[in-house]
Amino acid sequence: MKIRGYWLASGILGVTAATIERVVESGADAVVTKSIGLHPRKGYSGPILATSHGGLLNAVGLANPGIDAFGEEMELLKSKRVPVILSIFGNTIEEIVEVARKSVQFKPAAIELNLSCPHAEIGQIAHSPDLTRRYVSSVKEVVDCQVFAKLTPNASDIVAVGKAAEDGGADAVVAINTLRGMKIDIHQIRPVLGNKIGGLSGHPVFPVAVRCVYDLSQSLTVPVIGVGGVTTWEDAIEMHLAGADAIQIGTAVVEGLDVFSRVKEGVKDYLKEMGFRNVSEIVGASWRSTP
């Protein structure tokens, strides 16, 4: 698939065919599903969401119906013209390979590997370049579609992990997943989230995402898909200038599905006003033009 445009990020409304369809109708160029594992998983007990400082903390715990059940939703989406990217995870290489094998029968446009959920067991994979390379190359061996590796800003060296994903055969990297965070209720005197620790997303993480995309896109040859806090068309432009070929939007969708059309309209007007012919001309322009 072409790595361009504005996509729904994994985990937000991407769980059933019906909600995915609504997102598509609202203007998303592609949708990434909720991360799906081998077996059904309940996730953590609540509360699983909390707002904090203009962002959203979540500790959903990778709740999902499992790949076999989710296949039914994928079947319903087959007739849709918008690309569906299947996000998958596995607690071991063997497990993610099995999920990937099962996934390809649903003919996703691409597979996104969630190697980086900050509040689940799999959170450690994308901290290690070696593990990341092995996860990616093992999946690449058994699928015939593009594979994207989703990275974490919580890694001490995200560029080393991105390079390892590229070495392993990733067709693109996705940056960023959420940042580890928490909220404490000052009256109940205890953490708000059921899991105590969650992942922070939304507008406050945007500068972190921009930094990660900026660093990755200068060091990698594969495309970088930017995600993290994008809420307005100005954010999208900044993310492209940092080096994002395509952009995913997650938390901002909660405020309204019109975010996709607003962002696309704003980007189009900006390009015209600034005299650019298309988005490719601005991807990475901030570092290409800086000595």
Catalytic positions: 117
**Residue 177 contacts ligand FMN per CB under 6 A:** yes
Query: Among 6, 29, 99, 114, which residue interacts with ligand FMN (rule: CB under 6 A)?
Result: 114
β-pairing, 172-175 vs 224-227, is parallel
| Cβ atoms 83, 1 nearer than 8 A | yes
Is position 178 an interface residue for ligand FMN (rule: CB under 6 A)?
Answer: yes
Q: Which residue from 251, 279, 283, 284 is in contact with ligand FMN, where contact means CB under 6 A?
A: 251
Q: Which stretch binds ligand FMN (CB under 6 A): 5-13, 71-79, 120-128, 275-283?
A: 5-13
Verify binding: residue 146, ligand FMN, rule CB under 6 A: no
Binder among 229, 236, 239, 284 for ligand FMN (CB under 6 A): 229
Footprint (CB under 6 A) of ligand FMN, residues 8-27: 9-12
Beta bridge partners of 244: 224
Q: How far is CA 229 from the centre of its chain?
A: 11
In the chain, where does DSSP find H-type helix? Answer: 17-25, 67-77, 93-104, 129-142, 158-167, 206-219, 233-242, 259-274, 285-288
Contacts of 288 (CB under 8 A, 6+ apart): none
Q: Is 155 in the site for ligand FMN (CB under 6 A)?
A: no
Return the H-helix or E-strand segment holding 26.
none
3-class DSSP state of 50? strand
- Find the part of the chain contacting ligand FMN (CB under 6 A) among 55-63, 124-132, 238-246, 271-279: 55-63
Indicate the residue among 26 and 288 with the shorter CB distance to ligand FMN.
26
Q: Which stretch binds ligand FMN (CB under 6 A): 67-75, 128-136, 223-231, 258-266?
A: 223-231
Cα distances (Å, whole numbers) of residue 105 to 21, 67, 97, 140, 265: 20, 11, 13, 15, 36
Of 93-101, 125-133, 201-209, 277-285: span binding ligand FMN (CB under 6 A): 201-209
| Residue 77 to residue 169: CA distance in whole angstroms | 27
Q: For binding to ligand FMN (CB under 6 A), which residues are involved? A: 9-12, 34-35, 56, 58, 60, 62, 87, 114, 150, 177-178, 201-202, 205, 227-230, 249-252
